[in-house]
Amino acid sequence: MAVVSASQTFLAPQKFERTLKSLRSALGEMDVEVIAEFPLGRDVTERGRTEARLLLVSSAILEFESVALGRAAAVFFPLHVLVAAERNQTRVSLINPTELFEGRLPMGVSEPMDRLVARVVMAVESVAPVPSGSYYDVHSEELWDD
């Protein structure tokens, strides 16, 4: 599925608030800013209510490189990063929106977006070093199919 292949998930061996704080710091070191954030807090798993936060992150210079040839490229910014508590660990997921579509991308957006994703992945890996697809592997059918 395109959504799965466009997303990456990592597991941090620490609790939600600590991971969030470390991630903010790591993103800052990569010159990635948190543009906006949304607290999410519904039942994400059958185990009960899970604290989660959606971070919208970006980099001004990469935005500029993308929109220099046309404003349509701006629809891909900022990047979405979902941070969700899972027991004593924290799951961090991100999605590369340029990989969701088979259609032709606006000119100039691919390379800056790939660089933004790479920066964000490096930041995430510094706090959540374990790549994990297990959540989606286990729950994808019950979550996604009607």
> Least CB distance from residue 121 to other proteins, whole Å?
15
> What's the CA gap between 113 and 63, in Å, rounded?
8
> What's the CA gap between 135 and 98, in Å, rounded?
23
Judged by beta carbon, residue 63 or residue 127, the one nearer other proteins is 63
C-alpha distances out from residue 72 to 68, 69, 78, Å: 10, 9, 13
> Least CB distance from residue 74 to other proteins, whole Å?
4
> Least CB distance from residue 62 to other proteins, whole Å?
11
- Under the rule (CB under 8 A), what is the footprint of other proteins? 1-3, 7, 35-36, 38-44, 52, 54, 56, 58, 60-61, 63-64, 67, 71-72, 74-78, 80, 82, 84, 91, 93-95, 97-98, 100-106, 135-136, 140, 143-146
> Least CB distance from residue 122 to other proteins, whole Å?
19
Buried b (16+ CB within 10 A) or exposed e, 64-101: ebbbeeeeebeebbbbbbbbbbbeebbbbbbbbbbbee
Judged by beta carbon, residue 94 or residue 127, the one nearer other proteins is 94
Task: Give 12's strand partners.
Answer: 90
